[in-house]
Amino acid sequence: MPSSTEVVAQHSLQHHFANMEQQRESSTLGMWLFLVTEIMFFGGLFASYLVYRLLHPGAFEFGSEHMEFWLGTINTVILLCSSLTVALSVHAAQLGRNKIVAILLIITVLMGLGFLCIKGVEYHNHWVEGSFPGHWWHMDTSTLRGDDVSAAQLFFFIYFVMTGLHALHVFIGMVLLSFIAYFALKGHYTAEYHNPVHVSGLYWHFVDLVWIFLYPLLYLIAHKHA
């Protein structure tokens, strides 16, 4: 039904844009710029990480030993796969196949949920272990030397802020993709107009990218094969 898609396309062009091309490029560029601010947002944390790891290498190694290596690895795989499904859904959207878009996105959201659940299990284990810094801190740091004893809290503080912030992004991404999936189910997207799928996909990939770096920095400092 070419006529109906054209109507949809006309309808989805906002008044202040001259044409679809301009609208598409604007939203893509807008999202990329937003992702750059996100890079800098995490960048501040990465900088703190870098400085403190430099100052307290022992504490960071200690902290990393207390990461759940396999859970982290599984989560990495989950996120990579979810990125794949998102990429496929963008491809489906380019062909205007709304149903496939919706299915792929729902799978993605479920994988995101799985990621958060595993993360929750990890947090729970940390809680039991006493690695929440501040009042709740009661880790056994007897293997540590010197000011690494207290600096171990720094590692966990940075760990919780980084992964917590990342989890928040995963959550926002899930909400975003759910909306897109909903609109896809309603047949919203066409070969001409599918940029919301693309742009939301970019966001999800970014969330994946952050994790790609968090994983080695937090989990792999001192991994010893069990």
Q: Hey, which residues between 117 and 156 contact another protein (CB under 8 A)?
A: 133-135, 144-151, 153-154
CB of 121 to another protein, least distance (A): 19
Give the binding-site size for another protein (rule: CB under 8 A): 78
Query: What residues numbered 35-74 form the site for another protein, per CB under 8 A?
Result: 35-48, 50-52, 54-56, 59, 69, 73
Site for another protein in 176-195 (CB under 8 A): none
Which of 105, 132, 115 minimizes the C-alpha distance to 78?
115
Tokens of 134: 């501040």
Interaction between residue 175 and another protein (CB under 8 A): no
Closest to another protein by CB, 8 or 209: 209
In whole angstroms, what is the distance from residue 126 CA to residue 129 CA?
A: 5
Nearest distance from C-beta of residue 102 to another protein, angstroms: 19
What is the DSSP-derived secondary structure letter of residue 217? I
Nearer of residues 90 and 103 to another protein, judged by Cβ: 90
Residues sharing a CB contact under 8 Å with residue 59, sequence separation 6 or more, in sequence order: 52, 144, 148, 149, 151, 152, 154, 155
Q: Which of residues 85-104 bind another protein (CB under 8 A)?
A: 86-87, 90
Residue with smaller CB distance to another protein, 4 or 39: 39
CB neighbourhood size of 120 (10 A): 11
Rg, Å, the chain Cα set: 21
Least distance between another protein and beta carbon 120 (Å): 19
For residue 164, give the nearest of 90, 128, 214, 111 by alpha carbon: 214
- Among 116, 125, 187, 223, interactor with another protein by CB under 8 A: 223
Site string for another protein, 2-21 (x = CB under 8 A): ------------xxxxx---
Measured between its terminal Cα atoms, the distance across the chain in Å is 59
CA quadruple 202, 203, 208, 213: dihedral sign: positive
Residue from 80, 168, 172, 175 binding another protein (CB under 8 A):
80
